[in-house]
Amino acid sequence: MSKKNNKILVVGSVAYDSVETHAGKRVDALGGSASYFALAASYFSTPTVVAVIGKDFEQTHIEFFESRNVDLSGLQIKSGSTFRWVGKYDPNNLNYRETIDTQLNVFAEFKPILNEEHKSINVFFLANIQPDLQMEVLNQAGKKPGIVAMDSMNLWIENNKADLLKLIPKTDILFLDETELRQLTGVKNLIDASKTIIDLGPRIVVIKKGEHGLLMNSINADHSFSLFACPALPVDPVIDPTGAGDSFAGGFMGHLASLGKTISEISVEDLRKAAVYGTIMGSFTVQGFSIEQLKLVSIKDIEKRYNEFVNLTTIS
């Protein structure tokens, strides 16, 4: 792993989260899909954040992102409050959480705006926001960026499925968890479901399974499929799973962006390494509330954990 200055653009949310888990709680801690993604990706490449914050957003958080070489030229500051989410995890099972409150605030009127420099970026990540906003970003980009990846969630699959089905063919990589993928495709078997997505256009489907790792399917130039399965990296203790999926995507896409390749140049090996880097960035995130742990790691820590992961999973 060597950090390149290749750029990657993320559109998503920057938020203040109030979260309670068995391990404690935090009030108004830095959160949002774009925050986790950008910080995780910043270890591999140079992220540009397209998002909106309110007047109440703390200057220290602006300075923090800038100190990590995150480009905030796409971050709009609007009068009003920053997006807020309040959630509580089941103290006995971190797979279950309850959303106690969501205040969209300035996010309710969010319209992403890309400048010319943004439009020239080769790798785009459309984090989990309304599909019409994700589409708006691609429309503004004009010609398709070299690599487009997207995430989504049950809410949009339920309420905006038609929009999603228009968007997905314009992307190269789809990230979903197993429940979302089944919900979107109506196909129970995950491999079959991934092929249903690949039939729509994307070359790569990454199925996130949380503590159980991931399954990734991709189509090769000769139309064969390459399937990859890997476990999560067990960490102890898990403090707060919030942001793990976005950190995973940040490590995954940050690594791909660092390669400076086009989508058709990306090899199965590149994708597998990306999946492991993603797994590792997610594993750091869950070890603390908010970005508390993720922000502390060094490139050396990432490499150390990469080697631990290889050691954990290598058969012989």
Query: Interface with a second copy by CB under 8 A: which residues?
Result: 189-192, 209, 212-213, 215, 227-232, 234, 236-237, 269, 272-273, 276, 309-310, 312-316
The smaller minimum CB distance to a second copy, of residues 162 and 221, is found at 221
- Burial of 6-45, coded b for 16+ CB within 10 Å and e otherwise, reads bbbbbbbbbbbbbbbbeeeebeebbbbbbbbbbbbbbbbb
Q: To the nearest whole angstrom, how small is the minimum distance from the Cβ of residue 300 to a second copy?
A: 19
Q: To the nearest whole angstrom, how small is the minimum distance from the Cβ of residue 78 to a second copy?
A: 43
The smaller minimum CB distance to a second copy, of residues 104 and 191, is found at 191
Q: To the nearest whole angstrom, how small is the minimum distance from the Cβ of residue 309 to a second copy?
A: 8
Degrees (nearest 5) of the Cα angle 145, 146, 150?
A: 70
The smaller minimum CB distance to a second copy, of residues 186 and 237, is found at 237
The smaller minimum CB distance to a second copy, of residues 118 and 255, is found at 255
Q: How far apart are CA 29 and CA 14, in angstroms?
A: 11
The smaller minimum CB distance to a second copy, of residues 72 and 94, is found at 94
- Quickly list DSSP for the chain: ------EEEEE---EEEEEEETTEEEEEEEE-HHHHHHHHHTTTSEEEEEEEEETTS-HHHHHHHHHTT-EEEEEEEESSPPEEEEEEEETTEEEEEEEEEEE-GGGGG------HHHHT-SEEEE-SS-HHHHHHHHHHH-SPPSEEEEE--HHHHHH-HHHHHHHGGG-SEEEEEHHHHHHHH---SHHHHHHHHHHHS-SEEEEE-GGG-EEEEEE-TTS-EEEEEEPPPP-SS----TTHHHHHHHHHHHHHHHHT--GGG--HHHHHHHHHHHHHHHHHHTTSSTTTTGGG--HHHHHHHHHHHHHHH---
Q: To the nearest whole angstrom, how small is the minimum distance from the Cβ of residue 269 to a second copy?
A: 5
Q: To the nearest whole angstrom, how small is the minimum distance from the Cβ of residue 185 to a second copy?
A: 14
Q: To the nearest whole angstrom, how small is the minimum distance from the Cβ of residue 270 to a second copy?
A: 9
The smaller minimum CB distance to a second copy, of residues 111 and 237, is found at 237
Q: To the nearest whole angstrom, how small is the minimum distance from the Cβ of residue 229 to a second copy?
A: 4
Q: To the nearest whole angstrom, how small is the minimum distance from the Cβ of residue 77 to a second copy?
A: 42
The smaller minimum CB distance to a second copy, of residues 135 and 229, is found at 229
The smaller minimum CB distance to a second copy, of residues 80 and 231, is found at 231
